[in-house]
Structure 1
Amino acid sequence: MDFSRLEYIKNVNDDKTWAYKVYPIASYFPLNFKLGAGVDAHAFNLPKGSLIILSQKPPIYDERYLTHVVELVNEGSEDKPQWETTGPWGIFRWVKVHWIADFDNRSRIPLDKKEMRAEWGLFDTKAKLLSSPGLMSQWGSIDKLRAHLGEVFN
């Protein structure tokens, strides 16, 4: 995996279990964005080829975990014609799985807070830049963060 393309982290949730657990490495799925102010423009403008870490807290656990690294495989203009903005999850971008956690061994799933060393809003559906001031105050540079994450996801 080319960690230089690791650009974002996104919160995902499922009300019953781990979100996107059924998609193995190299599979494709629509990554959902909950409708809200500015979400459609945000999702539309995420660049094709970027890698996104998915962070989630299943209902039965108290902490957030890093569960996937996915790649945006289309331009927003290719995905948008498929959007249905009538339900809460009508906005999505097609992604390909590059890394997935071992859901059968929760102790091996990286903890978000421990690995990222940051606090941020847990319920915003937008993807957050890894180069954000909050993360950079902890890491000093995006290259240091990417090097660390390269070890976490290998």
Structure 2
Amino acid sequence: MDCSRLEYIKNVNDDGDVWAYEGYPIGAYFRLNFKESKDTSVDTHAFKLPKGSLIILSQRPAGKNRYLTHVVELVNEGSEDEPQREKGTWGIFRWVKVHWIADFTDVSRIPLDKKERRADWGWFDTKAKLLSSKNLTDQWGSIDALRAHLREVFN
């Protein structure tokens, strides 16, 4: 997988011990949800994410560690997805295509988030966070070094 377009990491979750987006194989398309907030910052953020960017999905099922479970590509411009927005907590979404997915049949083979990124972030919302953030570049020296490492993880 070409990791040169890896730009973001995003927290996703589902209820209980279920893995979010588990049923979508490589090449499948799905609606990546963003949780509604009291202000407009989440929807503004979600619809400004650029088409073609790759996003790593990180999730933590109840009682487990946080894992890197998917790499997805934004397939539309935000302006194309915004009119489809729905009412409700998870009505904000962007269409994505799966480029990599973890093997959910063997949790020991799913990459641990903290181990692979070497940074501990607070996960308080569902906004996509830049991989080029200061927190990560302090750990890796550059986004290119992080991408090279992640290329090994996802291939």
Q: Same fold (TM over 0.5)?
A: yes
Matched with 1:118 is 119
SS of residue matched to 1:3: coil
Q: How does 1:79-90 map onto structure 2 within 5 Å?
A: 79-84=81-86, 86-90=87-91
Query: Which structure 1 residue ranges, 4+ long, deviate > 2 Å from structure 2?
Result: none
Return the offset for 1:71: 0.2
Q: How does 1:13-28 map onto structure 2 within 5 Å?
A: 13-16=13-16, 17-28=18-29
Aligned-partner residue type, residue 85 of structure 2: W
Q: How does 1:67-86 map onto structure 2 within 5 Å?
A: 67-84=69-86, 86=87
Instruction: Give identity over the alignment, percent.
Output: 77
Return the offset for 1:151: 0.0
SS of residue matched to 1:24: coil
SS of residue matched to 1:71: strand
Aligned-partner residue type, residue 76 of structure 2: N
TM-score (norm: length of structure 1): 0.97
Q: Deviations over 1:84-139 (max 9, x none)?
A: 1x310010000000000000000000000000111112131100000000000000
Q: Please list every run of 5 or more consecutive structure 2 residues that lacks an aligned counterpart in the other structure.
A: none
Q: Please list every run of 5 or more consecutive structure 1 residues that lacks an aligned counterpart in the other structure.
A: none
SS of residue matched to 1:134: helix
Matched with 1:44 is 47
